[in-house]
Amino acid sequence: MSTITAPINTAGDTKVIGLIGAAHFISHFLQLSLPPLLPILNIEFNVSFTELGLVVTVFYVASALGQATAGILVDRYGAHRLLVAGLSLLAVAIAAISLATHYWMLLPLAALGGLGNSVFHPADLSILSHRVRQSRVGRAYAVHGVAGSLGFVASPLLIGEVAILSNWRIALLAAGCLGLAVAVLLWANRGSLTYALTHAAQAHPSEKKPGFLAAFGSPIVLLAFAYFAMTAFAGTGIQTFSVTAFTEGYGLPLRVATWGLTAYLIGSTCGMLAGGFLADRTENHHRVAMTGISIVAAIMLFIATRSALGVSVVGLLFAAGFSGGITSPSRDVLIRRAAAMARAGTGSVFGLVYSGFDIGSSIAPLLFGVLVDQHATHAVFLTIACGYAMAVPTVLKVQHRARTPAAVVRAAE
């Protein structure tokens, strides 16, 4: 495990937050660069959508497997190095896909891209946790989340537009070059992203467990892992199949269904911004997280039990997105506390916990795809509601296990 000395100069908070926000934006931009092109790749490589879906699954599985290792490397060698290396690998993989001439080439390149993607959460959140002053860390987490959401929003628009105006190869090549440009920017400003590492074993000779083993063996960290897996599973269901479910099962026009998803993403962004300020002003982060995801579960259950929604779906999904988004900064504060309680490195904990996010994201397309194929569109939203509802008790248990003398948490932070 590693501990991190607090930055002496806190005047650069805004710069650090901006750099990490740029990294998270481009990571999500590159992460979503392939899905808008699937209809084109379907014709280009003469393969089924199931085979193309496998490419996306390979990406997320590789990212999930890589996050725990990335967390260990962050604690041992510094987050800024892993961040630049991961972004470079992801950008090169996306650019290389533009040169693919056969379907099978997509699979190893997707795996390489997933490995590059695996570094962002452990690296980003470790840097924010220890380079941003405590009074602003909630807002820093919020900006981080918002930047990622904006990357998701921008990617289909820009990638799709470039592909239409030119072709899909140029679109992916341009996206990869943009990623490399951001990697160069981060490396040029690495002085703002570095922090001093000291090995806890030197301060506590009796403590022999490596940071990752301490994290992996901690119940509080495993509970947080379960929370991420379930909320990511449910959230991926909304982002991936809500439009299809609304058009096929509820008879909504495509434009209304699309606006519903857009409202969800906008609501999520607004919620993250509000949640950042809330996280800096409350100690009851578990209540924020529990309340937010409970509201999302209730909204999804309401949608599942209705046969006609009309334009009200736009308002419902905005409320769901806002309620889910407001939990994100408080959720990350809870994970930070989990790292302190587990006496494990922040990178190791964030890496392990966020691998649950990728696992949930990789499972969701398969299950929800089956439901849509079986025309069980109302069951899509019922399943989403269950995913969120099952995550609520994990937050309560995390808070229960995190109750400890305040001095211990302060010392770890």
Asked if residue 171 and residue 228 are part of one domain, the reply reads no
When pLDDT is cut at 50, 70 and 90, the band that residue 117 belongs to is: very high
pLDDT of the residue at 276: 81
| Identity of the amino acid at 103 | Y
Q: Which of 137-146, 211-220, 268-277 has the lowest mean pLDDT?
A: 211-220
Cβ 91 vs Cβ 180: under 8 Å = yes
Q: Which residues of 305-344 are buried (b: 16+ CB within 10 A; e: fewer)?
A: eeeebeeebbebbbbbbbbbbbbbbbbbbbbbbbbbbbbb
Question: What is residue 182's predicted lDDT score, i.e. its pLDDT?
Answer: 96
Same domain as 123, residue 57? yes
Longest dimension (CA), the chain: 65
Dihedral sign for Cα atoms in the order 129, 132, 137, 140: negative
Other C-beta atoms closer than 10 Å to the C-beta of 252 total: 21
Query: Is a pLDDT exceeding 80 seen at residue 169?
Result: yes
pLDDT digits (tens, 9 = 90+) for 8-36: 445 478 888 899 999 999 999 998 888 77
pTM: 0.71
Residue 43 has pLDDT above 60, yes or no: yes
| 56-111 pLDDT tens trace | 888 988 988 888 788 778 878 778 889 999 999 999 999 999 999 999 999 999 99
265 and 409 together in one domain: yes
Single out the residue in 208, 230, 253 at which a domain terminates: 208
Provide the pLDDT for residue 342. 55
Same domain, 144 and 217: no
Domain boundary pick from 149, 173, 208: 208
Average pLDDT, the chain: 81
Q: DSSP labels for 292-360?
A: HHHHHHHHHHHHHT-S--TTHHHHHHHHHHHHHHTHHHHHHHHHHHHHHHHT--HHHHHHHHHHHHHHH
Select from 150, 181, 208 the last residue of a domain: 208
| 371 and 318 fall within a common domain | yes
Number of domains comprising the chain: 2
| Mean pLDDT of the 197-203 span | 45
| Interval 220-241 mean pLDDT | 84
Same domain for 186 and 123: yes
CATH of the domain at 285: 1.20.1250.20
State whether 118 and 174 are in the same domain: yes
- Which pLDDT belongs to residue 253? 85
State the Cα–Cα distance between residues 372 and 368, nearest whole angstrom. Answer: 6
Do 25 and 125 fall into the same domain?
yes
* Same domain, yes or no: 267 and 142: no
R_g of the chain, CA atoms, integer Å: 21
Cα 188 to Cα 81, 84, 130, 144, 182, distances in angstroms: 12, 10, 20, 20, 10
109 and 168 belong to one structural domain: yes
Q: Are residues 17 and 146 in the same domain?
A: yes
Let me know whether 30 and 41 are in one domain. yes
Res 408 pLDDT > 70: no
- Tell me how far CA of residue 46 lies from CA of 19, 35, 51, 342, 374, in angstroms: 40, 16, 10, 50, 25
Average pLDDT over residues 334-347: 64
| Residues 324/149, Cβ–Cβ less than 8 Å | no
- 45 token code pair: 């490589």
> Which residue range(s) make up the domain with 130?
1-208
